Amino acid sequence: GNASVSFGCCDVSGTVEIGADAEICNGDETTLVLTGTGGTAPYTITVMATTESGATSTFDITTDGTGVAQVPVSPTETTTYKITNVVDDDDCSKAVSDQEVTVTVLDAQAGEISGSDEICAGAEVDLTIGASTGDFVLFILFDNDGKAI
């Protein structure tokens, strides 16, 4: 979440944090915002990613000179990103244990629309819309002649 973790050595203290939880559709991406303050930027922040199925990977991100890094991620399953360590530019290092966010990957929803496929201008038609599970958003696009696309 957005809580701060203090780190310090070499007479330096500061904080590191990772942004907020997010929800995306499979195939989309979101951006993790990693921020370090109080030490000497740039920071090298170690992040461990753990997928819903239990696979893990670890990667290092280096912030810019203001202590911020924006990292695009596009997991294919729900994944938790946890900061495990931070090192500032003076090699001051601190283990971190309470900074994590979860990116929830929403399943694609199967749906069906049924009803008349032809209607006359000004006529009404009943459409039945069904989804197998979950919530969904329906968009119907019309061209300039009022025809559904």
pLDDT in tens, 83-101: 998 888 988 888 888 889 9
Split at pLDDT 50, 70, 90, the class of 72 is very high
pLDDT value at residue 120? 76
Q: Print the SS3 string covering the chain.
A: CCCCEEEEECCEEEEEEECCCEEEECCCCEEEEEEEECCCCCCEEEEEEEECCCCEEEEEEECCCCCEEEEEECCCCCEEEEEEEEECCCCCEEEEEEEEEEEEEECCCCEEEEECCCCCCCCCCCEEEEECCCCCCCCCCECCCCCEC
Which pTM does this prediction carry? 0.68
Summarised one tens digit per residue, pLDDT across range 117-141 is 677 777 777 767 666 555 566 666 6
